[in-house]
Structure 1
Amino acid sequence: MLDIRFVRENPEVVRESQRRRGNDPASVDALLAADDARRTSLQTFEAKRAEQKEVSRSVGKASKEERPAILEKAKALAVEVKTLEAEAAAAEEAYKKANMAIENIVLDGVPAGGEDDYEVVDVIGTPRDFEAEGFTPKDHLDVAEGLGAVDMERGAKVSGSRFYYLTGIGARLELALLTMAWDQAEEHGFTVMTTPTLVNPDIMSGTGFLGEHSDEIYYLPADNQYLVGTSEVALAGFHKDEILDLSNGPEKLSGWSACYRREAGSYGKDTRGIIRVHQFNKVEMFVYSREEDSVACHQKLLAMEKEMLAKVELPYRIINTAAGDLGSSAAQKFDCEAWLPTQHRYLELTSTSNCTTYQARRLGIRERREDGSTHQAATLNGTLATTRWLVAMLENHQQADGSLYIPKALRPYLGGIESVAPIKRAGKQDGAKPGSTSGAAK
């Protein structure tokens, strides 16, 4: 939701933002018209209500002869005021709808265009030369199955396509990764919390997820609630309708939750393995800051994502996402994408967004200044680790013998093991269990 005063004073800035996103700038004119209509309607209602009150007060002062006419006028005014009040409420609702329809104003430096119009900010690390090492890399699912780390077949049997079991070292790797992310979050002053995965409609709508891509979200009609696709939703709603004290700096939260996405519209995309699935786990960062501090906070979140990617020793690039590929709430978003050797492409592992005051305005979240005044807070979010990271780790850290190299930073979370050996298939004499790490340490 936008600051209507800013829109009135800078309509062309908002129109240009809409153009850069690929949206119709006429929506800005529709908002201004709705704003004008609601202000006119409210003024008319308030003027008529004031007249009604004045007439009602005059009844007691009127003579016996004058009183019937005044009472009749007061009665007529009451009916008129009720009608005008309903019209003012309808105009207010139309205004809110028109405002909600406009996506956040993109920041300077965000490229115009769509999904393919991103700007590469940096490329960090060098992809392995598997050919020089004398072997062809397997895709992440083949590596995982060799380690007994993932079971897609039984996941589909139990829950349908795009579901899976993480087993043995797969489950341990995910837990180690997310725990390392939480440790890093705490080191940087974040309050860690497990968050609800079911939220009410006002929270989901307030974060901007019930717009164009609402079909991506699981809805439970019997409860009128939504399953979250990220703990950002619950973290944003944490301070709904509150006034924050940010005098000592931004408030930093980190949520760990299961996440659910319908993946509607992604038919045929990344159907193999665990790249694009309906359920996964994630550690998310969320920040409430003063508006003027949001750009600096955004860079700090990006730096934390880079720190995590360095710990898992992956080659990756950072992109500045184009305006047309931003979510409705984001004013700017940076993605970190790891190299996927078997697909010869980069795969998004993290994103961090500056949502400026867009979400906070919808959720009624303000912050109080030292002079007692209140201002809209800004909100930011960023991924610190997620199940998808296993895809890049399995592909980039596989060895010729089918084993998996464990990055040094992760080893303390896995009992110190340096690598994981492939399992022996069922029917072998030792009967190794799926995903066993027995004898894998080097």
Structure 2
Amino acid sequence: MLDLRQIREDPDRVRASQRARGESVDVVDQLLAADESRRSSLSEFERLRAEQKSLGKLIPQASGDEKQALLAKTRELSAAVKAAEAAAAEVQQRLDELSLVPSNIVLDGVPAGGEDDYVVLREVGGKPALNTVRDHLELGEGLRAIDTERGAKVSGARFYFLTGVGAQLELGILNLALSTAVEAGFTPVITPTLVRPEVMRGTGFLGAHADEVYRLEADDLYLVGTSEVPLAGYHADEIVDLSDGPLRYAGWSACYRREAGSYGKDTRGIIRVHQFQKVEMFSYCRQEDAVDEHARLLGWEEQMLAAIEVPYRVIDVAAGDLGSSAARKFDCEAWLPSQSRWLELTSTSNCTTFQARRLGVRERADGGTRPVATLNGTLGTTRWIVAILENHQLPDGSVRVPEALRAYLGGREVLEPVTR
């Protein structure tokens, strides 16, 4: 949700942001019209109510025909006040609905364009020189680490089992992520994976991409696609204390995504699946600290990617590919040898005050309160197994274990194929 005062004072900036995202600019004029209508309706309601109160004070002093006339006028005003109140409520509802439509205002410097118009900020590490390239599924099946056939048998397409070293590898990635977060001062949190509609809506996930979200209609609850959602709702309708710096949480949860509209994309293996595990960083900070906090989140993500020893690049995501809540987003993409392309492993977003306004998260400032900024970033997820297996594969189908993960796999330095 945007600051309505900001829309009034600088509508052209909001229009420019909508245009950069490839979204409608008409909503800005609709919002301004609804705001003007709301203020006019409230003014009329307050005028009529004030007149009604004034007449009410005159009635005890009147008598005879004068009193009857005042009573009749009061009845007329009472009806008019009720009508004006209903009209004001209707306009307010319209304004509330419209206020949820515009996406967050894109920050200065964000690349213009769509999905393919990102800017590469840096590339780190060398791509492995492989004579024979196996993809992650072939490697995972050889290690008895990934079983998509039984996943499909039990749950359907895009589900899987992680078994043996596959399960250990996932837990190793997530535990390393959580340890990294704790060392950086984050509070670890195991979050709910079912949330109320107002929390899902407040984070901006029930907009254009609502078809990606699983909903349990009987309970009116949603399965989260990231622990960003419950962590954003954690301090909903609260005034938080940021005097000692940002409030940082690291959420560990299962995540669920319908992957609607992605049929035929990355259907092999575990790149694009319906369920996975993730450790997500989430930060509440002061508005003026959000840009620096965003850089810190990206730094912790890169620290994790260095630990698993995969080549990666950092991209500045273009405005048309940000998602409604983000004002700026950086992705880290690992090299995928089997497809000779880059694969997103992490994403970190600065959502400025967009989510906090919707969810009522504030801090005390200047004798009152104001919305805080919220930011998020992935620190480890199941998909990382793909990059680890492919970039650390050896000619015989075994896989070298990155040093940072060996303690989580019983000290193994190499994962070897299972021959039985």
> Does the TM-score normalized on the shorter chain lie above 0.5?
yes
The answer to whether structure 1 residue 120 and structure 2 residue 115 are counterparts is no
Counterpart of 2:391 in structure 1 is: 396
Alignment of 1:126-137 (within 5 A): 126-131=126-131, 136-137=132-133
Question: Residue in 2 aligned with 1:236?
Answer: 232
Alpha-carbon distance in structure 2 between the residues aligned to 1:2 and 1:16: 14
Q: Deviations over 1:65-108 (max 9, x none)?
A: 42222222222211111111111111111112222110000001
The match for 1:432 is: none
- The whole-number CA distance in structure 2 between the counterparts of 1:311 and 1:13 is 41
Aligned to 2:337: 341
Structure 2 equivalent of residue 315 of structure 1: 311
Pick from 161, 173, 177 the counterpart of residue 177 of structure 1: 173
Distance 1:233 1:204 in 2: 6
Q: Secondary structure at the match of 1:257?
A: strand
- Percent identical pairs in the alignment equals 62
Say whether residues 1:324 and 2:317 are aligned partners.
no
Flag structure 2 segments of 5+ consecutive residues without an equivalent: none
* Residue identity in the other structure for 1:106: V
Q: For 1:360, which of 344, 356, 359 is the aligned residue? A: 356
- Equivalent-residue separation in structure 1 for 2:61 and 2:247 (angstroms): 58
Please state how far the C-alpha of 1:290 moved relative to its aligned partner.
0.5
Shift of 1:64: 4.1
* Other structure's SS at 2:188 match: strand
**Offset at 1:199?**
0.5
Q: C-alpha separation between the residues in 1 aligned to 2:186 and 2:367?
A: 26
Aligned to 1:295, the other structure's residue is in SS state: helix
Q: Which moved more, 1:41-50 or 1:302-311?
A: 41-50
Task: Give per-residue Cα distances to partners, 1:335-392, cap 9 Å, x unaligned.
Answer: 00000001000000000000000000011111113x5331110000000000000011
TM-score by length of 1: 0.94
Given the alignment, which residue of 350, 357, 363 partners 2:346? 350
Give the match's secondary structure for 1:202.
helix
Match of 2:196 in 1: 200
Query: 2:163 pairs with 164, 167, 178, which one?
Result: 167
- Tell me the residue number matched to 1:287: 283
The amino acid that maps onto 2:180 is Q
Give how far 1:288 is off.
0.4
- Deviations, residues 237-263 of structure 1 (Å, cap 9, x unaligned): 001111111011110011000000000
**Pair 1:374 & 2:369 matched:** yes
Distance, in Å, in 2 between the alignment partners of 1:52 and 1:171 is 72
The SS at the match of 2:204 is coil
In 2, distance between residues paired with 1:146 and 1:352?
Answer: 33
Instruction: Indicate the SS of the match to 2:385.
Output: helix
2:219 to 216, 220, 223: 223
Aligned pair 1:152/2:127, yes or no? no
Shift of 1:173: 0.4
**CA displacement, residues 6-59 of structure 1 (integer Å, 9 cap, x when unaligned):** 111111111111111111222211111111111111111111112122222322
Match of 1:209 among 197, 205, 221: 205
Determine the C-alpha separation between the residues in 2 that align with 1:141 and 1:60.
87
Q: Is the 8 A contact 2:227 2:253 kept in 1?
A: yes
- Give the counterpart letter for 1:411 in structure 2: R
Structure 1 residues without counterparts, runs of 5 or longer: 426-442
Matching of residue 408 in structure 1 with residue 399 in structure 2: no
Count residues in correspondence.
Answer: 420
> Which one-letter code corresponds to 2:367 in the other structure?
G
Query: In structure 2, what residue type is equivalent to 1:225?
Result: L
The answer to whether structure 1 residue 420 and structure 2 residue 396 are counterparts is no
CA–CA distance in 1 between the matches of 2:341 and 2:326? 25
Give the partner amino acid of 1:83: A
CA distance, structure 2, for counterparts of residue 358 and residue 13 of structure 1: 15
* Range moving further from structure 2, 72-81 or 312-321: 72-81
Superposed counterparts of 1:27-46, under 5 Å: 27-46=27-46
Partner of 1:51: 51
